[in-house]
A and B are shown apart, each in its own frame.
Chain A
Amino acid sequence: MSEPTPPVRQAAGARGAQADAARTNLLSGLRGVGELRHLGLFVALALLVAVGLVTRPDAFATASNLVSVLSLAATIGVITVGATFVIIGGGIDLSVGAVMALASVWATTLATQSYGPVVMAVCAVLVGTGAGLVNGLLIAYGRLVPFIATLAMLVAARGLAQRMSDRKTQLVQQPDNGAIVSLSTTRVLGIPLLVYVFALVVVLGWVVLNRTTFGRRTYAVGGNPEAARLAGIDVRRHTMLLYALSGLCCGIAAILIMARTTTGSSTHGDLYELDAIAAVIIGGTLLTGGRGTIMGSILGLLIFTLITNLFILNGLNTSDQLIAKGLIIVVAVLLQRRNLKERAP
């Protein structure tokens, strides 16, 4: 798994950008965390923390507030990991929120619930992966533009979720299926289980992206699909798998949202696609593909979550929060563009 296959090496040799990408990835490791490109994100996070410490010293810097920020970030965080893969691979997935909603609804129908919590979880993951696979097939083999294919999935999945649930909020039945909810209520070392799930997904995502052939191929496909194809990578198959992976993440996120809200609903995950894409962009991943990191995306997401947390702690209204988020996206992208120019030879 960890040895690059000869074709990939050829690809790296064939094209400078890929060689660059491959080298960065091989060398990254923990060093990547402290890399300069994340410096801005850490500074932004530090600023937000400082704001929190100044405005609400009593409520902000507590362990329980930290835990609740992480719990809030967990659901969308898992989705962001999948979105990072898709975007590095040169695509985009607009359907993430709707697919998560569909998976949560499918897993909480009375029919599914009668089989117990394990089947519910498996169901959510399968529905997510299945929807992702459909996206992937349409894009890779049906030659649909990712934007359009996943937009269609967004609309259709949300509609299917509404139809299945009859537009009702479906409760996770307790105590029978309380195991699902316990992901949110059970704490180990003071931290809810779902935060561990989030952490696990992030670590796995990082390993796959940086330490496996699959990860290197993702950079190659996103950087230059034609060169990747010439180098012997099955670009179509890889593209399809990227969307399936994103769907898988949505399925896992569905389990987490069921745990947190004790429900499955067609209203879950509204506008998640925008939050996930924004987090990925802030994290320094290029929308054109070929470059980006999981770490950056997660930092981007934490910035967003912290903003929400700070606004609510200070009793400010949500409209201002949206303005702040919009500004941050613009500033982040402007800064990145400058960075890229500086680094360009």
Chain B
Amino acid sequence: MSENVARRGFLVGGAVLLATGCTSNEPAAAPSSAAPAPAPAASGNDQPGEKVVIGFSAPAADHGWIAAIAKNAEAAAKRYSDVEFKPVEPTNDINQQISAVESLIAAKVSALVILPNDGQQLNQVALQATQAGIPVVNLDRVFPDKLAYRTWIGGDNYGMGVAAGHFVGRKLKEKGVSDPVIVEIQGIATLPLTQDRSKGFADALKTYGFSVTAKQDAKFTVETGNQVATSLLQAHKKIDALWNHDDDQGVGVLAAIKEAGRNEFVMVGGAGSLNAMKEIQSGSSVLQATVTYSPTMASSAVRLARLIAQGKGMSDLVENQVPQSITLASETITKENVEKYLPLGFES
């Protein structure tokens, strides 16, 4: 009996494979999210040096941002003839990521770049790597234990909220609006990163004497963004400003806004996707700005790992070694500067 089932399963599997054959996304030239053309390092840091192997582990992409992280890391490594890039199968399972990192430790890579599914839960294995003499570059989601990593590089969630808050605050002051209706569409409400973003937003708004009227979480997907926005627009007949935490879910939010025919407010996005930048560039959209949380940080992390493994410092700094922690600024993209950011935008 079980044999029979197995055979059936095999047949079905075959059918599925056949089906995939005719579903390509190829024909039209796939818009290549070309890895951002990086500025050459000021000193000789870009010159080929000692050969290094850089291991890379990140969650599986279920979101444009994470997909861009993996792509950027690989592209950054490819630029250097002295780097051998060793990515492990991305996974959203903590257990699997732990064993993936263990395999990289066993392979004795020169440096590790890790974006953990959860900093707390991967802390132990990062500590093992460090103890084995492998420098760990911790990407974005931070390990709680400073012994576990050599350098942390990541975005600034609080700063993102602050940037959005300042943009909104300034716009509304210009318009002379008093007591504005400000709406916030969050990602996953329970995540610390979401709470940091919301706190930054509220704190920045407070400096203008404003506060958030309503906020609602939308789980980072296009569909949920659309659902939440549809009802929020019903709840508030007149809105002055809207901050949506994430450009990916923003596609759904914008569709809801268009469907409702609303355009009386200023919308700010978050992350910095290509779609969002194009909307901003068009000038005819409610989306007037987005605050970055750029996946280019993966490119930088790989570069840092290379420098650390080769014992080099950052050329613009005085110190001989790479810093312990680098927090990227959240930049505000508007119609005025969008040209400059387009090459950095990621496909959602």
A residues lining the B interface (CB < 8 Å): 56, 58-59, 62, 64-65, 68, 71-72, 106, 109-111, 114, 134, 138, 142, 144, 156, 160, 162-169, 171, 181, 184-185, 192, 257, 260-263, 265-270, 308-309, 312-315, 317-319
Contact = CB atoms under 8 A, between A and B. Distances in A.
Contacts of A106: 23
A72 B225 CA distance: 12
A109 B62 contact: no
A260 B251 CA distance: 10
A261 B189 contact: no
Given A260-B259, A267-B221, 9 more contacts: A64-B234, A68-B233, A110-B26, A134-B12, A169-B248, A263-B252, A263-B255, A308-B231, A314-B235
A39 B276 CA distance: 47
B295 to A, nearest CB: 13
A198 to B, nearest CB: 15
Contacts of A269: 223
Given A171-B251, A263-B251, A68 B222 contact: no
B230 A167 contact: no
B222 A111 contact: no
Contacts of A257: 223
B41 interface: no
B226 A261 contact: yes
B251 A138 contact: no
A308 B218 CA distance: 12
Contacts of B189: 317-319
Contacts of A111: 23-28
B227 A72 contact: yes
Max count, chain A CB within 10 A of own CB: residue among B25, B27, B61, B237: B25
Contacts of B251: 169, 171, 261-263
A321 to B, nearest CB: 10
Nearest to B254: A262
A192 B258 CA distance: 13
A144 B5 CA distance: 9
Contacts of B61: 167
B30 interface: yes
B13 to A, nearest CB: 9
Contact of B234 (A156, A309, A317, A318): A309
Contacts of B26: 110-111
B101 to A, nearest CB: 22
Given A111-B23, A167-B62, A312-B232, A160 B222 contact: no
A166 B8 contact: no
B20 A268 contact: no
A168 B23 contact: no
B62 A168 contact: no
Contacts of B310: none
Interface string B234-255: 1111000000000010011011
Contacts of A169: 64, 222, 248, 251, 347-348
B153 to A, nearest CB: 23
Sorted nearest first, the 3 A-B pairs with minimum C-beta distance are: A312-B231, A267-B221, A110-B28
A142 B6 CA distance: 11
A56 B231 CA distance: 13
21 contacts: A59-B234, A64-B260, A68-B233, A68-B260, A110-B26, A110-B28, A144-B5, A156-B16, A164-B20, A167-B62, A184-B259, A261-B225, A261-B226, A262-B255, A263-B222, A263-B255, A267-B62, A268-B223, A309-B231, A312-B228, A313-B235
A315 B223 contact: no
A68 B5 CA distance: 46
Contacts of B67: 166-168
A184 B255 contact: yes
Contact of A268 (B28, B216, B222, B275): B222
B107 interface: no
A71 B258 CA distance: 14
A57 to B, nearest CB: 13
B132 interface: no
B223 A192 contact: no
Nearest to A269: B223
Contacts of B348: 168-169
Contacts of A134: 12, 15
A68 B234 contact: yes
Contact of A315 (B12, B216, B248): B216
A328 B348 CA distance: 36
A240 B63 CA distance: 35
A270 to B, nearest CB: 7
A269 B228 CA distance: 15
A164 B234 CA distance: 35
Nearest to A142: B8
B331 interface: no
B25 A315 contact: no
A263 B27 CA distance: 19
Given A138-B12, A160-B20, A312-B231, A168 B64 contact: yes
B222 A261 contact: yes
Nearest to B221: A267
Contact of A160 (B16, B225, B237): B16
B216 A318 contact: yes
B217 interface: yes
A328 to B, nearest CB: 18
Interface string B206-228: 00000000111100011101111
